[in-house]
A and B are shown apart, each in its own frame.
Chain A
Amino acid sequence: MASSSTSVVVSNKEKENKNTKKVTLKSSDGESFEVDESVAMESQTIKHIIEDGCANNEIPLPNVTSGILSRVIEYCKKHKEAAGESEPSVTSYTSNSTTNPLTEWDTEFVKVDQNTLFDLILAANYLDIKGLLDLTCKTVADMMKGKTPQEIRETFHIKNDYTPEEEAEVRKENQWAFE
């Protein structure tokens, strides 16, 4: 029933553990995902909904499609697991990449098409997941580094709304940046 790209987080062993509270998240296209409450609380938005006692049956997330939501859940699960296994300081998203074991996983995680990447940025912002927002924004910034303005426009399909004269003026103003 579930599509091949989703990973449904339910297992019988987990259900036997009475301490593992579950919460159901519903995507904009009507798909439901049951996750551990602790994993869902990686999202500050969801955390506040739960704490305010508004999470009765399901938490609807009208701004997130099932494809994106499943990826977000994957991210939260992985980072929650890592937080549980090691010192709390390791989960800092600004830590040195050579010591952070999640860096490799994160790098693979963001190897997606642009459309998905921007959807992840929007979802991370809406769900208020700082680590994911940081990771995705950094990925886009890295894609922009070293490119000329025209290359940036082509890569991201941005429309140039400067006239040639205006553009030359702006360039002249910031000449030092182009040297």
Chain B
Amino acid sequence: MQMATTMDDLPDGLQVEILHRLPLKSAFQCKSVKKRWYYLISTSHFVSCFVSHREKVEVNRPFTFIYRKLCKTRLFFVSSNEIEFKCFKSLASKNMIQELVGQHNESIDFSVQASCNEMLLCCANNVDVGDDGVSHPMSIYYVINPITMQWLALPPVPQWGRPLVGFICFYDNDSNS
């Protein structure tokens, strides 16, 4: 009669419906099953489905970065799921973050300032944004999500004094952004 319905017959939206219900490791392994899945699992839409699904099923958010600064920057990853905790240790290194935002300049002091859920607030100091021959050292703050590899640069601030920086955010699970 008709051809049997397979996974490939489902539209993208339904494939995401299935994939986002997988545990984190399985979901990332699925990136190597076929190219379409690689793309689907890498979208921010997938991540927001994944996180909001977890919120309904588990009490704790699946991953939280706690930042602690001693002599040097250290990043700790905490998750209610032990496996995910180990996974994220390898995900975000300082160099990787720097690469992401295109700050290759060695003289720029790049550091992680704060964290909230799975996002990081990073600061690049000594960025010279002047084009009139005079050096204007500025600090540029970036909000980075190392999981989806998305980042946003905030408007540069003049580099005098040490402003207090912090991070407050809440999830708008219903929006697509």
Question: Is there a chain A Cβ closer than 8 Å to B90's Cβ?
Answer: yes
**Among the interface residues B6, B31, B33, B91, which one has the most CB atoms of the partner chain A within 10 A?**
B33
Q: Which of A128-179 contact B (CB under 8 A)?
A: 133, 137-138, 140-141, 144-146, 148-149, 152-153, 156-162, 167, 170-171, 173-179
Q: A170 to chain B: which residues have CB within 8 Å? A: 31-32, 38
Chain B contact residues: helix, strand, loop or mixed: helix
Give the contacting residue for B5; candidates A122, A138, A145; CB below 8 A. A122
Is B158 an interface residue, CB under 8 A from the partner? no
**Size band of the B side of the interface?**
20 to 34
A57 at interface, CB cutoff 8 A: no
- Interface window among A44-52, A83-91, A112-120: A112-120
Q: Which of B1-28 contact A (CB under 8 A)?
A: 4-10, 13-14, 17-19, 21-26, 28
Whether, in the assembled complex, A125 has its beta carbon less than 8 Å from a beta carbon of chain B, the answer is yes
Partner among A94, A137, A162 whose Cβ is within 8 Å of the Cβ of B57: A94
Does B152 lie at the interface of the complex (its beta carbon under 8 Å from any beta carbon of A)?
no
Asked, given contacts A161-B34, A162-B34, A176-B90, whether A121 binds B29 with beta carbons under 8 Å apart, the answer is: no
A-B contact count (CB 8 A): 99
* Number of chain A residues close to chain B: CB under 8 A: 37
| B91 and A138 contact, CB distance less than 8 A | no
Provide the bound-state CA to CA distance between A174 and B32, in Å.
Answer: 9
Other-chain residue from A115, A149, A176 in contact with B87 (beta carbon distance below 8 A): A176
B30 touches which of A137, A138, A146, A152 (Cβ 8 Å):
A152
Give the complex CA separation of A156 and B15 in angstroms: 12
CA–CA, A175 and B25, complex, Å: 10
Chain B nearest CB from A2 CB (Å) reads 19
A125 to B18, CA, bound (A): 12
User: Is B72 part of the binding interface, using a Cβ–Cβ cutoff of 8 Å?
Assistant: no
Told that A137-B17, A144-B22, A158-B8 touch, could you supply 10 new A-B pairs with CB distance under 8 A? A94-B57, A114-B5, A115-B4, A118-B7, A125-B14, A137-B21, A144-B30, A156-B8, A170-B31, A177-B28
Cross-chain pairs A/B with CB under 8 angstroms, 16 sampled: A118-B6, A118-B7, A121-B14, A122-B9, A122-B14, A138-B21, A144-B30, A145-B26, A148-B29, A149-B32, A156-B6, A174-B28, A174-B29, A174-B31, A177-B25, A178-B25
Name A residues whose Cβ lies closer than 8 Å to a Cβ of B.
Answer: 94, 114-115, 118-119, 121-122, 125, 133, 137-138, 140-141, 144-146, 148-149, 152-153, 156-162, 167, 170-171, 173-179
